[in-house]
Amino acid sequence: MLAAVRAAAQRGEHDLALRHWSELSDHAPHALADPATLLRFVPLLLAENQRERAALALRHAVDPGNDTAITPGQALRAFELARELDPAVAARAAHRALASPDLHEAKRAKLSSWIDEHAGAAAALAAPPPVPAESSTPPPVPPAPAPVFGADGAVELARFARAKLTAARPIGLDAEGLRVSLEGGREARVAWSRIQAVAVAIVADLAAKPVLVIDLLANWNASEAEELKGIRLRSDQFDPRALLGIDGDPRRAFAALAGRMLQATCGQPLPSAEQAVGDPFARFDSLADYQRIVLEVAE
């Protein structure tokens, strides 16, 4: 089954790979997929609110017994994802990243500061389980644990420091690209060839009713970039049926539009190939959650 996970991931069939891995983790919890594949699973699982399985994927990614050692860059990504799911895993990922001599000094300082502030999580990595003492009296009820993350404890080490996504309304599309209307009545053309990824999700806090967001991302594949750049389309600002020249259910029309954009751009579908075309659409309570989990943006 582990071979099936690897084969599906190599073909880019990440939803299928995730299904194989989920089944594998239920029956063979010690079988470890490679860190890159596991880290790709985590946003998909979080989008489906499968937090426990997402935490398991992170534990496997940083497991010292993994045949494929996690890289410093992957360790940074694991830390960012794990710090709100599993502090012990975040601590292990932070130590792995700090072991790299090429780590940027600002990131090194932030990681070191986080480890100092969360020493209990790091200690949990090495501490053996306590041996219960024989007693005729029941053990006392432990006090409620203090919050692990305070308001000042956040450390952002996402791929992008911020998102710079221009709001746009699509007014036409063809085989070469998309015509959009921008703020102030200006028009622009977005060439499909310049789009590296297409992210699609429902976000609840953008308006009185949930809004479907389609982000066309121009520099998703960049290894080093401060800003994630692209354009953002919102479902409350245009009718996809008019754009596609079709009738019927608007939700299906949005799914068809996303599918056409993915086909035209050959970009990476986000959060996954299935969710990007509404099977089903991923849903997030806030724009901040969507951008952090799917777009890997710190703020």
Q: What is the pLDDT of residues 76-101, one digit of tens each?
A: 888 888 887 888 999 998 998 898 88
Dist CA 125 CA 129 (whole Å)? 10
Q: Give the phi and the psi of residue 216 in degrees, each rounded to 5.
A: -100, 110
Distance from C-alpha of 294 to C-alpha of 181, rounded to nearest angstrom: 26
Kindly state whether residue 136 falls inside one of the protein's structural domains.
Answer: no
Reported pTM: 0.56
4 and 117 housed in the same domain: yes
- The sign one gets for the Cα dihedral 278, 222, 176, 215 is positive
Kindly tell me if the per-residue pLDDT of 146 is higher than 60: no
Residue 27 falls within a domain, yes or no? Answer: yes
d(CA 108, CA 30): 31
Q: Are residues 184 and 252 in the same domain?
A: yes
**Does one domain contain both 89 and 182?**
no
Instruction: Give the pLDDT confidence score for residue 73 in this predicted structure.
Output: 79
pLDDT given at position 4: 81
Same domain, 167 and 291: yes
Mean pLDDT of 195-208: 94
Angle of helix 87-98 versus helix 72-82 axis, rounded to 10: 160
The reply to whether 4 falls in a domain is yes
Backbone phi, then psi, for 232, in 5-degree steps?
Answer: -120, 130
Distance CA 177, CA 136 (A): 75
Which position has the token pair 């996303």? Answer: 258
* Same-domain pairing of 107 and 223: no
Q: Is residue 110, in this structure, part of any structural domain at all?
A: yes
| Domain shared by 118 and 174, yes or no | no
Among 103-107, 195-199, 253-257, which is the least confidently predicted range?
A: 103-107
Same domain, 98 and 190: no
Does residue 120 sit in the same domain as residue 1? Answer: yes
The structural domain count of the chain equals 2
Domain that holds residue 113: 1-124
Contacts of 96 (CB under 8 A, 6+ apart): 62, 70, 72, 75
Residue 211 CA to residue 237 CA, distance in Å, equals 10
Decide if 204 is inside a domain.
Answer: yes
Tell me what pLDDT residue 282 has: 92
Shared-domain flag, residues 267 and 214: yes
- Helix ranges (H only) for the chain are 2-10, 14-27, 35-47, 51-62, 72-82, 87-98, 105-117, 119-126, 240-244, 250-265, 287-293
Calpha distance 246→266 (Å, rounded):
23
pLDDT in tens, 34-79: 888 888 888 888 877 888 888 999 999 999 888 788 888 788 888 8
Domain contains 157: no
| Residue at which a domain ends, from 124, 148, 178 | 124
* Segment holding 232, helix H or strand E: strand 227-234
- Same domain as 173, residue 288: yes
In a domain, 16, yes or no: yes
- The answer to whether residue 87 sits within a structural domain is yes
Q: What is the CATH number of the domain that holds 234?
A: 2.30.29
> Do 179 and 287 share a structural domain?
yes
